[in-house]
Amino acid sequence: MEYAIKVEGLTKRFGEFVAVNDISFSIPKGSIFALLGPNGSGKTTTIKIICGVLRATKGYVEVLGNDVSKYPEQVKQNIGYVSQKFSLYEDLTVEENIEFYGAIYDLSKDEIEEKKAKLLKFFGFEGREKSLVGTLSGGMKQKLAFACATLHNPQILILDEPTAGVDPISRKEYWEMIRVFSQSGVTVLVTSHYMDEAERCDYVAFMFNGILKEVDTPANVKTKYSSHSIEDVFMKVFSQ
């Protein structure tokens, strides 16, 4: 099996505080991998290390065969990232945001125009190209952030609680788009507080106080904990 991401013995300390404590896991290429846990469990810190934004205190992280500590810029070029806090420009229009991020990714004008047309259609922005982003709903803003993260055709998408505060219909549509990218071969690492979203993933991992508690398929963890849902597993894991 080929792995897009390998994490071995990863530890991150901030002074005396241990945010991530000796965790290991691997994510197969083309799969959807959910990192689950309450606030403060170390999920976002782990993601930032994988993206090459933070340096690990100890351990090894490999992304598409590259050691993140040695080749962070090469790793970043192959990752599309959507943060839990909306990060685009609300005083620009939908298409202006796409054009701006296309320039950041060093795409040519022709490439930007081609990608923009496809993304506007795929993400449902046709007819709203000139709308200021600040006027969009929370769900539409997150879809635009998703669209901008895919402009450079990344092999990995990292989504940090992308549907937090988004209405149920938009969440459903968002996950349909995630599945489309996964089926095209893109690897997706997502954090979420919604256990129904975890049911849609190929693998789930549970973190608590910087420690990785379980890593397996949704079906396997439900069998292990004699549960009918990931939500029930979640409650049992974190009550231990």
Say what the pLDDT of residue 238 is: 81
Residues 234, 109: Cα–Cα separation, whole Å: 47
Tokens 């004008």 belong to 109
Contact 189, 204 (CB under 8 A): no
pLDDT digit string (tens) for 24-70? 999 999 999 999 988 889 999 999 999 999 999 999 999 999 999 99
Secondary structure element (H or E) that encloses residue 74, with its range: helix 72-77
- Where b means 16+ CB within 10 Å and e means fewer, 161-179 reads bbbeebeeebbebbbebbe
Q: Is 238 exposed, middle or buried (0-12, 13-18, 19+ CB in 10 A)?
A: middle
Please check the confidence at residue 210 and state whether its pLDDT lies above 80: yes
Say what the pLDDT of residue 97 is: 95
Residue 88's pLDDT band (cuts 50, 70, 90): confident
Q: Rounded mean pLDDT of the chain? A: 93
Domain boundaries, the chain: 1-78+156-161+186-240, 81-153
| Two tokens, residue 55 | 């340096």
**Class for the domain spanning 1-78+156-161+186-240:** alpha beta
Residues 158, 146: Cα–Cα separation, whole Å: 10
pLDDT digit string (tens) for 166-191? 788 888 888 999 999 999 999 999 99
Please check the confidence at residue 20 and state whether its pLDDT lies above 90: yes
